[in-house]
Every structure is written in structure tokens, then in C-alpha cells.
A = this chain, B = another copy of it.
Amino acid sequence: MQFGSIEAGGTKFVCAVGDEQHNLIDKMTFPTTDPEPTFQRTIDYFRQFPDIDAISISSFGPIEIRPEAPNYGYVTNTPKPNWSNVDFLGTIKAALNVPIYWTTDVNGSAYGEFKVEEAAHSNIKSLAYYTIGTGVGAGFVLNGQFLGDQGHPEMGHVRLKRHPHDLDFKGICPFHGDCLEGLVAGPTFEARLGQKGQDVPFDNEVWEIMAYYIAQAALQVTLMLRPGKIVFGGGVTSERFLEVVRRHFNSLMNNYLDVGDLQDYLTLPRVPDNGSATLGNFYLAESLYNQLQES
């Protein structure tokens, strides 16, 4: 058995093929340009693997995930130029004659992390995955299913209590200004300090401010969904940074709920090399394949 993964990010696509143990057989990464050439590279890549049994796409968004919607499978109102109202799923389906699963990039990552967590200790039932990078978003797995009724979650756009030393920063979200994404996405470093995040020393108070906001996001998802675990991926995160997030989380929670050991509750991804979504896709493709066999 072989399963395919398309991790479609706003800056790059990662296409990969895995075996039935979900081990990587092959992988190719290329920049996200306009839809047509990007889809063509994706299709050309998978045509090299005619034995693939199913593929899963986890895409940047917003995307339409409701099967009953007329534009199911589309990237919808994204600010990314030329990508609004693009039929992603339909284009790939028309070219490759295999079953294809369709979800968000962060759902794919959440699923990959959920499956390795499940393998490590089998009693996990729910997991949130936040990416803090160029954009901010989150996926959520509950009992093996994704959350979202009228669409997928958009957890990056919640509002937060502003840090007292950050009240003048307007935020960079084109829709909301100072929502979570507008306050902590990677490009906020340039907006606040005129330098890239990787160049900002860790004793700069901006890291404290960012951690305060991300801790509030973790608190929100804890209070609203009571998950088993919250994973943070994306370029802004690191173990040292997460330590600061945990400290703020603890102080915001003020012993109100017991979430267990914070070292296990708020963590970096378990899957190495940004591979969470690829692994998640292998599992999702497998699960789609099995479902179709049964029906």
C-alpha cells in the first residue's frame, strides 16, 4: 500500500509518498506560485507513483470543507493573490484517479500529532495543534474527528487581553488588526522592531509579550474544549519560548483547572522536521481508503 500527502502551504508545497507503515518513501518540496503551475507540479509528481491508493491534501485556507457546499474543495477568500475561489480538490481529482481526502493544513498537522501521541500513550482523546508562523491557525482532533460545523475553525483570529506594555501596537492582521494572528505571527517582529524574529535576542520583552498572547490562546482552547494536549508548531516556537508560554498559562489559569503537567500539556510537535502534516496526511489517506473499502 502507498499513500500520498499534499501539504499545501502559502509559501511552499510539500508532496510526499508513504508506505503502509506511514514511513516516508519520497518527498518533494517546491514554492507555491500561481495555482495552475503549482497544481501541475503536484500532479506531475504523483504521476510518478501510479500505485498510490489514496491521497490526503491539507491546505492553507480558508477552504471549503463542507461536502454539501457547491464550492467544496475550493480555496475561498484568501488574501493570497490569485488563490481566491480556486478549485484545488477538483483539479487534483480530475488529473489523478485516486480517492482524495481534503482538510486544512493545521488539521493535517493536528492529526499527525494525534496519531503519534496515541501510539505513545493510548488514552489521548483530543489534541489542538497551533501553528505560529507567517500566519496563525489551529486544528483540533476530537476522538479521531475534526471540529467545525459551518466550516473549519479559524482560531487565529480571536481577540485577546492586550499586554500592558504593548497597547500601542495596532497588530498586522488585514482583517482584524490586533487579533491573535495580528499580534503574534512571524511578521509582527518586523512590524514591532524592524527586524526579523530570528534576529531578536531572547531578552527582548517582545518575547514575553508574544508568550502572554499565546498563553491566552492556549487558555481559550483549554476552557472551551478541555483537550488532552496542545501542540505548538511554526517558526516562532521553540522549547525555550514555550517555557515562557507555560509560565504565563499557569499564571492566567491560577489553579482554576487541572491540566496535568504543563511540560506534557503544552509542547512542541513530536514529529520531527515539520513532518506533522505529512504524517497526518498518510493516516488520513489510509483512513479514507479503508472507509471506501468498507462501503
- Complex: A155 Cα to B220 Cα, angstroms: 8
Residue A216 is within 8 A (CB to CB) of chain B in the complex: yes
- Contacting pair A225 B159 (CB below 8 A): no
Residue A198 is within 8 A (CB to CB) of chain B in the complex: no
Q: Which residue of B lies closest to A228 (CB)?
A: B149
* Smallest beta-carbon distance A245→chain B, Å: 14
C-beta contact mask, A131-155 vs B, less than 8 Å → 1, else 0?
Answer: 0000000001010000111111111
* Smallest beta-carbon distance A153→chain B, Å: 5
Residue A165 is within 8 A (CB to CB) of chain B in the complex: no
- Contacting pair A227 B153 (CB below 8 A): no
Q: Which residue of B lies closest to A150 (CB)?
A: B226
- Complex: A220 Cα to B73 Cα, angstroms: 25
C-beta contact mask, A212-226 vs B, less than 8 Å → 1, else 0?
Answer: 000010011101111
Instruction: Offer 18 A-B interface pairs, CB within 8 angstroms, sorted by A.
Output: A125-B149, A126-B149, A126-B150, A147-B225, A149-B226, A150-B227, A150-B228, A151-B257, A153-B223, A154-B256, A158-B219, A159-B252, A160-B161, A161-B162, A161-B178, A176-B254, A224-B224, A224-B225
> CB within 8 Å of B: which residues of A?
62, 125-126, 140, 142, 147-162, 175-176, 178, 216, 219-221, 223-228, 252, 254-257, 259
